[in-house]
Each structure stands twice: as C-alpha cells, then as structure tokens.
Structure 1
Amino acid sequence: MWTVREMTEADIVAVSGIRVVGWKAAYDGILPQSYLDRMTVEADAQERRRYFERPKRGVVNLVAVDAQGTVVGWACVGPYRGTGSSATAGELYALYVQPSLIGSGIGRALLGAVHAHALAQGFESLLVWVLTDNATARHFYERAGYAADGAVQSDDYDGVSVSEVRYRRSL
C-alpha cells in the first residue's frame, strides 16, 4: 500500500524521474518528440531544487511512497494561477504516477490527499488543465468528479501549438 506525505528535498531526484518518465509516456504522440527527447531528470531536478530554495506561498507538493519508502507518485496543488476564477479556487498543477504503476490506485490516493489539502487551504473548488488529446488523463479526472468547464488554452512546444482543456471539481 502507499502513504502520501509532503515532499522533502530528499525526494527531488525521485520526483524528477517520475515527472520526466511520466511526460514521455503520457505525451508520446501528443507533444513533439523533439521536446520530449530533450527532457532530462537532471534538468528537472535542478528546477525542483530552485523551488525548494524559494518555495511559493500556498503551494503543496505531495508524494506517494510504497511500503519500502520509494516515491511512486507526485502531485502539486496551490492557488489558481489563471484569471477569471475566484480566490476560492485552487489548482492541481501536476499529478504523475510511475508509469508502470498506473491503474494501481496511487493516482486516486494522491488526488484524495490533494483534495484534503485544498480544503484545508480554504478552496471551494479545484481546477486542472489537461492536454486535450490526453484521453487517459481526461478519463481519470472525469471518474474523480471533474468536468470540463469550457475554458481552453494552448501552449507552444517546439513550434507546435498544443491545446488544453480546463476541468473543475467542487470540493
């Protein structure tokens, strides 16, 4: 089974590994391969270390660990970063599970902990941006009670515009 706890600096390399491998697995065929090929655990770990040097107010990083203490999943939640939503909305910035363990319940455990943290921070709803073509993630969030709210945006990855749809769930 897994436990969920706050991420520590000692978890950085493990979280970066999950994030990079997770991106390469989840976004294969969605994002340009050139972009995915340039992602490295080392570069991602440097970014995470900078975060720990200057933590952002209200942002919580959580990790799921197995019985041996190995990090198997990561999630990050905090205040909504966009416009057009009230101060009572939080945002799930990221949720990744070791790809070989997807479907084992780790994502649901992390999401449950995210919801508890969001409620404790006073958020009444939670928003998450999902790549439009990521059917697996969209299905995961829909099963967890999230619904697309009509907002869309695009990000550029190596000159390719990739669309995202925003999901919302009341807490």
Structure 2
Amino acid sequence: MVHVREMDAADVEAVSMIRVRGWQAAYAGIVPETYLAAMTVEGDAGQRRQWFAQPGRQARDLVALGDRGPVGWICFGPWRGEAPGPRRVGEVYALYFLPDLIGQGIGRRLLEEAHARMKSLDFEVSALWVLSDNRRGRRFYERSGYQADGATQDDPYDEMTLTELRYQRVL
C-alpha cells in the first residue's frame, strides 16, 4: 500500500529517478533510443530543482511513498493551452512510477488523488496528452475514465516527430 503526499524539495532526486526510469521503460521502442539514453537523473534533478523553486508556479506535485520511499510521482495543474471546451480544465502534466511496480495500483492511486485535488480547485474536467503509440498508457487512462477527444499534437524527439493524443474525463 502506498501513501500519497505533496512533493517537497527533498524528493527531487527520487522523483527525477522515477521520471527518467519511467520514460526509459514506458517509451522504449517509441521514443528514439538516443533520446532515452541521453536522459540522466542528475540532469533531470537540476532542471526539476529550478522548476520546483519557481515562486508562484501553479503546478502541483504529489509523490507516492512505499516501503522504499518515493515510488511514484504525478504533476498537475491548470490546462496550459486553449481550453478544450467551456468547462474549467485541469491537466495531468506527468505521471510516472517505478517500472518494476507496474500493476500494483500506484498510478491509479496517484491519479485518483490528483483528481480529488483538481476537484477541490474547482476544475470540472481533467485532460492530458499521451503518445499515440503508448498503448499501455492509453489503456491505463481509458480504464481511468479518460477518452480521446480527437485532438492531436506533434512533438519532436531527436530526428523523429511523434504524435500525442489528447484525452479528457469529467471529474
């Protein structure tokens, strides 16, 4: 069982490790190997420390704690683009957990807590972007009540451009 709490500055290294390992596992065979191999915990932690310390930032970060410390992380906040509809929209910016813990409910627990907090912030809808080729991620979000709404965006990774699909669910 995991406990979810707000992330603090002491969690930066653990969250960076979760993010880098999560990317390298989830996106193997999707994102170019050169891009994944260039990711480092140290580089991510440096950027995360700067980002985490920004005054007035609206993003919220939660960590899932297991018996070995932080094992998962979710970041969410206000929708960053033009709102996809008339309702007040929150966005899940990132959700990662240790790859060896897939199937243990950590992602679902983090997502449920983020949804509860979004509702308390008066968001009516949660939206997110997921790589179109990330079938496991798409199934996870669909089981969590999200549906693709037809919007797409392209993201460059090294010499390759990958398509992301926008998913939404009512909170």
Alignment of 1:154-169 (within 5 A): 154-169=154-169
- Aligned match of 2:72: 73
Percent of residue pairs bearing the same amino acid type: 53
CA distances 1:87-122 after superposition (whole Å, capped 9, x unpaired): 610000000010000100101110110101110111
- When residues 55 and 132 of structure 1 are mapped into structure 2, their CA distance, relative to the original with a 3 A threshold, is farther
Q: Per the alignment, in what secondary structure is the counterpart of residue 64 of structure 2?
A: strand
Q: Distance in 2 between matches of 1:56 and 1:48?
A: 15
- Deviation sequence 1:23-59 (CA, Å, 0-9, x none): 0000001011111110000000001100122045331
Distance 2:95 2:162 in 1: 19
CA–CA distance in structure 1, aligned partners of residues 27 and 66 of structure 2: 25
CA distance in 1, matches of 2:49, 2:87: 28
CA shift at 1:84, angstroms? 4.0
Q: CA deviation at 1:138?
A: 0.2
2:110 aligned partner, one-letter code = L
TM-score, normalised to structure 2's length?
Answer: 0.96
Which one-letter code corresponds to 2:81 in the other structure?
Answer: G
| Distance in structure 2 (CA, Å) of the matches to 1:57 and 1:170 | 24
Residue pair 2:83, 2:89 contacting (<8 A) in 1 also? no
Say if 2:39 is the partner of 1:46.
no
> What is the count of residue pairs matched by the alignment?
170
What is the alpha-carbon root mean square deviation over aligned residues? 1.2
Q: Structure 2: which 5+ residue stretches go unaligned? A: none
Where 2:161 maps in the other structure, the secondary structure is: strand
User: Does structure 2 retain, via aligned residues, the 8 Å contact 1:64–1:73?
Assistant: yes
Cα separation, 2, equivalents of 1:150 and 1:56 = 32
Residue 8 and residue 65 in structure 1: after superposition, are their counterparts in 2 closer, same or farther (change >3 A)? same
> Where does residue 88 of structure 1 map in the other structure?
88
- Amino acid aligned to 1:166: R
Contact kept in structure 2, 1:154 and 1:161, CA below 8 Å: yes
Structure 1 residues not aligned, in runs of 5+: none
Q: Which amino acid counterpart does residue 79 of structure 2 have in structure 1?
A: Y
Q: Tell me the TM-score normalized by structure 1.
A: 0.96
Indicate the residue corresponding to 1:105 in structure 2.
Answer: 105
CA contact (8 A) 2:127 2:168 kept: yes
The amino acid that maps onto 1:142 is E
